[in-house]
Structure 1
């Protein structure tokens, strides 16, 4: 199991910055689907950023790569005022699980990266689902204080609890898996050529 080096940290930071940009685009696109769209926005993001996650798994391939990505993301969201402690906790737990699944070897099977991405992004989604389910009133009060209306929060909670919460979680996981396979299809030839060139040298 290889650990991150300085050059790997720099690479992950640059790719996370790109991921952050795409995430915000995905978040805007998710508004089309209303509160439920917001609840599954990590899944929409994962569909668009699967190529980045896959690239990290092949280009970096070191333990804690996904945890580092998630930590940088949480810092960036904190800087723009979107940080939320339960979200940080569930996101980091998801990232650590992703690392355990797919970061202990340099070239994990595609299905392992897909499952890892599922946990990575479900961790993000649970940042609103868990508070809505288990400490609804404080969750609602927190975001009303940040500028949301009571009506908006009621709709958000409705989209994140009960059957909708379960459906949202499953959908985020499925979109994450799909995003990795899309990334694999896009980058497969690139890495095959690179491997062939390395063997020829």
Structure 2
């Protein structure tokens, strides 16, 4: 199990910046699905960013690479005023689990990486789903104080609780899982050539 070096941190930071841009675009696309789109936006991001996570795994391949990615994402969103303690906790815990699944070896199996991506993005989604399910009033009050309307928050809570909340978790996992296979399909020849040249 290899640990990150300075050059790895720089590489992950640059790729995370690209991930962050795509995450925000995915968030805008998710608005098409209304409040449920907000709940599944991490999955939409995972679908489009699977290529980035696949590249990170194959190019960096070090333990805590996904935790570092998640930490940078959290810092960026917090700077934008979107940081939220439950989301920070679920996101970091999920990223550590993702690293345990797929970052202890340099070239994990694609299915392991896909599972790790699913867990990584479900962690992001749970940051709003868990508060909506278990701390509804404080969750609503917090975001209303940040400029959301009561109507928006009611819609968000409806989309993140009960059957819809469970469905959102499943959808996020499936989309993020699929994103890795998209990344694999697009990049496998690139890395095969690199390995052949290095041999």
Question: 1:114 corresponds to which residue?
Answer: 114
TM-score (norm 1): 0.99
Question: 2:169 corresponds to which residue?
Answer: 169
Task: Give runs of aligned pairs for residues 28-39 of structure 1, distance below 5 A.
Answer: 28-39=28-39
Task: Tell me the secondary structure at the aligned position of residue 45 of structure 2.
Answer: helix
Output the CA distance in 1 between the equivalents of 2:25 and 2:43.
13
Task: Tell me the secondary structure at the aligned position of residue 47 of structure 2.
Answer: helix
Question: 1:123 corresponds to which residue?
Answer: 123
Task: Tell me the secondary structure at the aligned position of residue 107 of structure 2.
Answer: coil
Task: Tell me the secondary structure at the aligned position of residue 147 of structure 2.
Answer: coil
Output the CA distance in 2 between the equivalents of 1:57 and 1:33.
31
Give a deviation string over 1:52-102, Cα, whole Å, max 9, x none: 000000000000000000000000000111111110000001100000000
The RMSD of aligned alpha carbons is: 0.4
Q: CA deviation at 1:181?
A: 0.1
Q: CA deviation at 1:14?
A: 0.2
Q: CA deviation at 1:116?
A: 0.2
Match status 1:96 vs 2:96? yes
Structure 1: runs of 5 or more not aligned: none
Aligned residues: 199
Give a deviation string over 1:102-139, Cα, whole Å, max 9, x none: 00000000000000000000000001000000100000
Task: Give runs of aligned pairs for residues 46-125 of structure 1, distance below 5 A.
Answer: 46-125=46-125
Output the CA distance in 2 between the equivalents of 1:143 and 1:77.
14
Output the CA distance in 1 between the equivalents of 2:149 and 2:193.
53
Output the CA distance in 2 between the equivalents of 1:48 and 1:58.
17
